[in-house]
Structure 1
Amino acid sequence: MPHTKDDLPDALYSAAQVRALDASLIAAGTPGFELMQRAARATWRALVRHWPTANELSVVTGHGNNAGDGYLIAVLARRAGWHVRVLAVGDPKRLQGDAVLAHAEAVAEGVAVQAWSSQSGLRGVVVDAMLGTGLTGDVREPYAGVIAAINASGLPVAAVDIPSGLCADTGRILGSAVRADLTVTFIGLKLGLFTGDAADVVGEWVFNDLQASPESFNGVDISARLLTADNVPRLASRAPTAHKGKFGHVLLIGGDRGFGGAILLSAQTALRSGAGMVSVSTRSEHVPAALARIPEAMVVGTSSANQLMGLLEKVSVLVVGPGLGQASWGRSLLSAAANAPLAQVWDADALNLLAEGQVSLPGDCVITPHPGEAARLLGLSTAEVQADRPAAAHALSKKYTAVVVLKGAGSLIASPDGRLAVCDQGHPAMATAGLGDVLAGLLGALLAQGMNAFDAACLGVWLHAGAGAQEGKSGRGLAASDLIPAIRQLLEEQAPCLK
């Protein structure tokens, strides 16, 4: 059954898990060559829909099953009257199993098959059927040179199952990767198609389950869940007799000198996302600006941790870190927060101070690192975090016994119990300051309204990314505060306040 991005299933798998699914289909009676034919037909149909006026195809193959798909796509194109040729990067003599049958069918059909060379020249639509999901190490020659030639050609590109060079498990580009305009993937969605570098190389989505029955998936673990409008957690509607005391009291701590705007963005978001009451603890000189911007909030000028103690007894959720700084003022406030038995969200400088080991994370906490902060928390480089974002998210969750939001393209939400969720929404216009402060305030509001940490993180990330995608349509110049009304609107659409 074909799927578009709007109706993708939400189960995400590793490459090994998809191979297990493939094996289960074959064991259940579907021949492997039949699955290869289904994959080729699915790709051909998607290709024709995407480029309805095209009539020429250059199929670039390796020597695995991905190449078998490519040979069969070439057969379908030739039967449709297209000009088609296969440029074999992998020697056809190295083909095995069903791919041998596919090659033989292409030859019997009269498809021109020639060895790739730098003089080959690409024409028409390029079909990438080279490396597939089995790739683990960096792309080597001759494939690296072929990938460079495809990317430099300026021609439309369709990738079979996954763009060559993209890791199916991590979303990392393994040295180099084909930049596809269309990716047609099969049987089960791969986790690596939704995080890391994937968004730069995948293009438009089509998924086809190759007629796999639901029973075929029994007993096969998943790696993660893709957050969608259908499966994201929901806030309960409110009774007509609702009052502010039922929806939590969020205290936001931060805003050292020079960073006052960060805590105000968080506080404004918490207010607009449904928290019953909002308080802000910040530098005294920021109080007038805070009251002018958010008169609904209770703003307390705080010069020392001692002044927090009374407030900590009255609130239900803490958001700590936006604009906190790493000087003695921020350190003392963070220390006080760490000892409070409250649900908490830690962001920004709270995470940098946590990485120093001078404070311990309390229980029932959500942390929201970007890759650089995650690297400091794990004692790794940022490149190492980005090389395997799912592993980094799991490692952070285990190390700190917290729900982790690893921000970035394809944000990941990891729970200490092993659950992992992925959000593939967003927009490049979101690459601007203050977006993390907005997310922290949103998460605090959701916790205050009674959501558990993992559900709050999943819903918050999905709302934040969805609002960014919506506001990003206007292009560059997106301000963090632009997201706040959009988040409120999406939250109401997703979970109406009143039944």
Structure 2
Amino acid sequence: MHSPFPLYDADALRLLEARGTASSDGDAFALMARAGQASWRRVLKHWPQAQRIAVVCGPGNNGGDGYVLARHAQESGRNVQVVSLLPPATPLARRACDEYLAAGGRIVEAPEGLQGAELIVDALFGIGLSREPDAATAALIETINAHPAPVLALDVPSGLDARSGSAPGTAIVADRTLQFIARHRGLRTGVAMDHVGELELATLDLPMSSFDGIAPAASAYRHDALHGFFPLRPRDSHKGRNGHVLCIGGDAGSGGAVMLAADAALHCGAGLVSVATRPAHVPALLARRPEAMAHGIDDVEQLTHLLERADVIAIGPGVGQGAWGQALFDLVLACAKPRVFDADALNLLAQSPRRLNECDVMTPHPGEAARLLGIATVDVQRDRFAAANALRERYGAQVVLKGAGSIVASPEAVPAVICAGNPGMAVGGMGDLLTGCIAALLAQGFAPRDAAIAGALLHASAGDAAARVDGERGLLPSDLLPWLRRLANPMRR
């Protein structure tokens, strides 16, 4: 079984760096030397044929790492040039620069130093940058991004805010990013996903004791963590043991949404799935999925006995914001059973905010999150961790903030980041599947946080598996259904 791996924020990384210096008998340059050497090893591993290398160095210690790399490249006989807008400004960076120059290296101005480069190393800014780059630096970053050579970013692609993963201005688009000491929380979600390329880690040989007392800022879950959530079922299982999900939604013109949620709940192992929808949608739903128990709802009172029979309620897919959807939503709010809120159920909640239960799960996309918080969508994306935590604090439920690097925020726990999924999943109906996934896991007895994490990870991993077959563009929610079932089932010996 593979466990989640820890992610750290900038404050923790600075403390770890200080402890790394202490473990080197107080020699801070020893740590920089290891970072530069580790970077050079990555160059040799991934681009062994590159002879013309441009290393773009900033004035701080990230630039110092670049100078060390450049010295190794110079001593190996490569044609290396350091491109710098400003001279080194820290003692460590100055020492690294002096050693590079003493080895015969040279510093040139941009963009001349980038001409003919077969590899560009980005060592402009490290984890400390949280502002927009100035005009000259922004122009250099844009020149690098337009260059045909691959880019290796050291620690963080310059221009990204390592705390949040946002880009206040222009930022480097790297092919690979080599993180130092520990993995950065901000590089796993949001706009950062379009800048980091392949992520790697160089621990710089810090002893494990350096991490004592430093709590991770988040936990990252990859697809290989899935089977830790899905034990084998007992041989004497029966449908009642695997829970009864009630999916509510499908106002006029939106019947497909609740059908997808019901399909996902069945494929993820719910023992029974009922659907409350408009009467006009019942024939199509039964034709598509006879295993679902479809009920046409005209009068809200018809929903009462269905709520009593169900173990978990999933409301939102296609429910609308009209009188019909509002009446169903109000009835569900009075129900004490575990609930999953998505789509228009979240929009209705935003119109009349109230605190939910800790056993409930909310699954907003950034636009819905913005309405729930009363802020702009751009503010949600500027700091997705802060937005997810704000939703958790305001509404009291488990929160799955969807998007690139979905974030699960839970009471009394660090956020979980889902390191799976792909752009092909940006299509209508994918969120409806997620609603059904999480509801099915709650019905099978998963703890609310586990249901939110496992459901989001299962959903994203199924999307990746389906995209590997025929590609991302044109991926449909229904393409994920067989993969949901396969990935939720560990092999029986």
* Distance in 1 separating the partners of 2:49 and 2:343: 50
Q: Is the 8 A contact 2:56 2:82 kept in 1?
A: yes
* Distance in 2 separating the partners of 1:74 and 1:107: 10
- 1:408 corresponds to: 403
* Distance in 1 separating the partners of 2:444 and 2:378: 37
- 2:134 corresponds to: 140
- 1:483 corresponds to: 480
- 1:280 corresponds to: 275
Which range moves more in the overlay, 150-159 or 257-266? 150-159
CA distance 1:208–1:118, shift in 2 (3 Å): closer
Note the alpha carbon deviations across 1:19-73, whole angstroms, 9 max, x for none: 1111112223352211111111111111122112111111111111100000000
CA distance 1:248–1:436, shift in 2 (3 Å): same
- 2:48 corresponds to: 52
CA distance 1:271–1:67, shift in 2 (3 Å): same
* Distance in 2 separating the partners of 1:70 and 1:217: 26
Whether 2:104 is the aligned partner of 1:107: answer: no
* Distance in 2 separating the partners of 1:181 and 1:90: 25
Following superposition, the deviation at residue 240 of structure 1 comes to 1.1
Following superposition, the deviation at residue 205 of structure 1 comes to 2.1
Note the alpha carbon deviations across 1:96-155, whole angstroms, 9 max, x for none: 1321211111011111123x3444443221110001110011111221111011011121
- 1:63 corresponds to: 59
Note the alpha carbon deviations across 1:263-284, whole angstroms, 9 max, x for none: 0000011011100100000000
Following superposition, the deviation at residue 229 of structure 1 comes to 4.3
**4+ residue runs of structure 1 moved beyond 6 angstroms?**
none
- 1:433 corresponds to: 428
SS of the aligned residue for 2:416 comes to strand
Write out aligned runs for 1:15-30 (5 A).
Answer: 15-30=10-25
Pick from 437, 443, 450: which aligns with 1:455? Answer: 450
Pick from 351, 355, 366: which aligns with 1:371? Answer: 366
TM-score (norm 1): 0.95
Whether 2:87 is the aligned partner of 1:91: answer: yes
Which range moves more in the overlay, 168-177 or 118-127? 118-127
Note the alpha carbon deviations across 1:303-336, whole angstroms, 9 max, x for none: 1221111111111000000000000000000111
Following superposition, the deviation at residue 294 of structure 1 comes to 1.1
- 2:317 corresponds to: 322
Pick from 153, 165, 171: which aligns with 1:171? Answer: 165
SS of the aligned residue for 2:18 comes to helix
- 2:203 corresponds to: 209
* Distance in 2 separating the partners of 1:8 and 1:453: 18
Note the alpha carbon deviations across 1:388-418, whole angstroms, 9 max, x for none: 0000000000100010000000100000224
Whether 2:189 is the aligned partner of 1:195: answer: yes
Which range moves more in the overlay, 378-387 or 453-462? 453-462
Pick from 391, 405, 409: which aligns with 1:396? Answer: 391
- 1:420 corresponds to: 415
CA distance 1:16–1:358, shift in 2 (3 Å): closer
Write out aligned runs for 1:465-484 (5 A).
Answer: 465-473=460-468, 474-475=470-471, 476-484=473-481
Note the alpha carbon deviations across 1:351-402, whole angstroms, 9 max, x for none: 0000001665345210000000000000000000000000000000010001
* Distance in 1 separating the partners of 2:106 and 2:167: 31
Q: Is the 8 A contact 2:245 2:270 kept in 1?
A: yes
Q: Is the 8 A contact 1:374 1:396 kept in 2?
A: yes
SS of the aligned residue for 1:447 comes to helix
Pick from 69, 72, 79: which aligns with 2:75? Answer: 79
Write out aligned runs for 1:346-361 (5 A).
Answer: 346-357=341-352, 361=356
Q: Is the 8 A contact 1:10 1:226 kept in 2?
A: yes
What is the root-mean-square deviation of aligned Cα atoms in Å? 1.6
TM-score (norm 2): 0.96
SS of the aligned residue for 2:81 comes to strand
- 2:144 corresponds to: 150
- 2:212 corresponds to: 218
Q: Is the 8 A contact 1:304 1:332 kept in 2?
A: no
- 1:3 corresponds to: none
Matched letter for residue 73 of structure 2: A
- 1:4 corresponds to: none
Which range moves more in the overlay, 300-309 or 244-253? 300-309
Pick from 234, 251, 255: which aligns with 2:246? Answer: 251
CA distance 1:417–1:360, shift in 2 (3 Å): closer
Q: Is the 8 A contact 1:354 1:360 kept in 2?
A: no
Matched letter for residue 105 of structure 1: E
Which range moves more in the overlay, 229-238 or 32-41? 229-238
* Distance in 1 separating the partners of 2:112 and 2:20: 41
SS of the aligned residue for 2:190 comes to coil
SS of the aligned residue for 1:345 comes to strand
* Distance in 2 separating the partners of 1:70 and 1:363: 48
Which range moves more in the overlay, 396-405 or 136-145? 136-145
Write out aligned runs for 1:263-342 (5 A).
Answer: 263-342=258-337
Q: Is the 8 A contact 1:304 1:333 kept in 2?
A: no
SS of the aligned residue for 2:345 comes to helix
Q: Is the 8 A contact 1:84 1:111 kept in 2?
A: yes
* Distance in 1 separating the partners of 2:130 and 2:391: 23
Matched letter for residue 313 of structure 1: E
CA distance 1:111–1:404, shift in 2 (3 Å): same
